[in-house]
Structure 1
Amino acid sequence: MTQETRRVLRKDAERNRQRVLTAARELFAEKGLEATLNDVARHANVGVGTVYRRFATKEELLDAVFEDGIGQVVALAETALQKENSWDGFVWFVEQSCELTATDRGLREMVYSRAYGGYGVECTRLRLSPPVSELVERARKDGYLRPDVESTDMPILSLLAGTVSEWAGHVAPELWRRYIALLLEGMRCRSGQEPMPVAALDDGSLDIAMRTWEPGGPPC
């Protein structure tokens, strides 16, 4: 085999890899993480062997697709902390992160479930907690956010946005924004507020919920 032939084959292999990644991201965004490698191959219009040669397991493919996606959410939280007004930063993060997770079912499931993903994805997930906690604490300390709002409430906002999007997105794609606005209004600190009827999850309970939620059934 000549050097030129090897170069052409490498280019073809990289093109096929990118084709598979693009198809996987599109498919997971629409269908969620229950999509299989065979589904990805059909969506990419390639043979299933092409997918398996580049990604031996579904976990490998998920890591390649979602490590950067979760990193986007981390970057949003870090950017929100740079805003001078803590409430503005909090609201901006909620709106931006909910837009990502309301429009990308796969990303939502990957961020808020630990049933999928390998070491790289898990490391990126762990980077999300500190800036989100700081956003909540800062807005609470400045008197903008109800004192009984906790950082563990934040993942549920994105899940709610996603539920609205899944239920009504085909008739009103932006409807999730209405309910996030209502939730944000209810989270503002005001005098004479009654305490929440139920406490937020603690860190341990949130971790259990995330580890045991399998959005599309057990991982393949």
Structure 2
Amino acid sequence: MSPRDPHPEAGADAAVSAGHAKRSDAERNRGRIIAAARTVFGRDGLNASMASVARETGVGIATLFRHFPRKEDLLAAVFADRMKAYAQATDAALADPDPWHGFTGYIETVCAMQAADRGFADILTMNFPGVPELEKHHARAYEGFLELIGRAKDSGQLREDFTSRDLVLLLMANAGVLSATADAAPDAWRRLVAWMIQSFQAPARGPLPDPPEDAALYEAMRRASHDVTTPETGKRR
């Protein structure tokens, strides 16, 4: 035992306690940031800046970036649970013994999820290939929706020219209506969705223009996600 350090165990215990305290503080800060981001993105949409999230949290911007170096990282933390619920909604719809009711119920559920959270309304119309946590749920939901389409068409109740791209267009339209009406007419989206569901039903009332190509629609969704994650150097973030 060194005369300069008569109680080395005490020093080690203090260091361990200090380490636990720092981790606890970091976890609390992370939780506060995520909660604040839910509020900001839900209120202002995904174009809200990282600085506005820091202000809502009450932390410095440097603290925020220590926890979430990219905006994509923060989006993943905020919306992973909602994206999981989005994917799980296909499971519930596929369990419905009525193919048409399952199909329309899924559309209504997803559009209602958009209406409940403006940020999530935007997320559903974007692609984040650099955020695996979001993309895996998106892919699962897509596969489930393809099955819903097949069942509804086999039942003779869904028009044959409906494609999965039509859901993307509906979600984009619904996001636009939600953004435009906001508190002024918060239930306006329900009329849009009802009109669209009726237009999907067989027999078709007439031919439709060709849907956008998959690659073109993917590029539109990719650009939308790029717009909200580009650093604040004269562009939106």
Structure 2 length-normalised TM: 0.83
CA distance in 2, matches of 1:155, 1:29: 20
Q: Which residue of 2 aligns with 1:126?
A: 139
Residue 219 (structure 1) aligned with residue 235 (structure 2) = no
Q: Which residue of 2 aligns with 1:181?
A: 194
Shift of 1:117: 5.0
| SS, match of residue 126 in structure 1 | helix
Query: Which stretches in structure 2 are left out of the alignment for 5+ residues?
Result: 1-13, 232-237
Residue 103 (structure 1) aligned with residue 116 (structure 2) = yes
CA distance in 2, matches of 1:195, 1:136: 18
Percent same amino acid at aligned positions?
32
1:84 to 97, 100, 107: 97
Q: Which residue of 2 aligns with 1:17?
A: 30
Shift of 1:201: 2.5
Q: Which residue of 2 aligns with 1:193?
A: 205
| SS, match of residue 213 in structure 1 | helix
Given that 2:90 and 2:141 are in contact with CA atoms closer than 8 Å, whether structure 1 keeps it comes out as yes
Given that 1:164 and 1:175 are in contact with CA atoms closer than 8 Å, whether structure 2 keeps it comes out as yes
Given that 2:158 and 2:200 are in contact with CA atoms closer than 8 Å, whether structure 1 keeps it comes out as yes
2:221 to 190, 194, 210: 210
Shift of 1:138: 1.0
User: What CA deviation, in whole Å up to 9, does each residue of 1:55-80 have, x standing for no partner?
Assistant: 12222212222222222211111211
Q: Which residue of 2 aligns with 1:153?
A: 166
CA distance in 1, matches of 2:146, 2:62: 44
Given that 1:149 and 1:200 are in contact with CA atoms closer than 8 Å, whether structure 2 keeps it comes out as no
Q: How many residues align?
A: 218
CA distance in 1, matches of 2:22, 2:223: 42
Shift of 1:213: 2.9
1:51 to 55, 64, 69: 64
AA at the equivalent of 1:200: P
CA distance in 2, matches of 1:122, 1:149: 24
* Cα distance change on mapping 1:116 and 1:103 into 2, 3 Å: farther
Q: Which residue of 1 aligns with 2:125?
A: 112
Structure 1 length-normalised TM: 0.89
Q: Superposition RMSD on alpha carbons, in Å?
A: 2.1
AA at the equivalent of 1:3: V
CA distance in 1, matches of 2:114, 2:175: 6
* Cα distance change on mapping 1:168 and 1:219 into 2, 3 Å: same
Query: Which stretches in structure 1 are left out of the alignment for 5+ residues?
Result: none
Which range moved further: 84-93 or 169-178?
A: 169-178
> Which 4+ stretches in 1 moved above 4 angstroms?
214-218
CA distance in 2, matches of 1:177, 1:19: 33
From the CA coordinates, give the structure whose radius of gyration is larger: 2
Which range moved further: 141-150 or 105-114?
A: 105-114
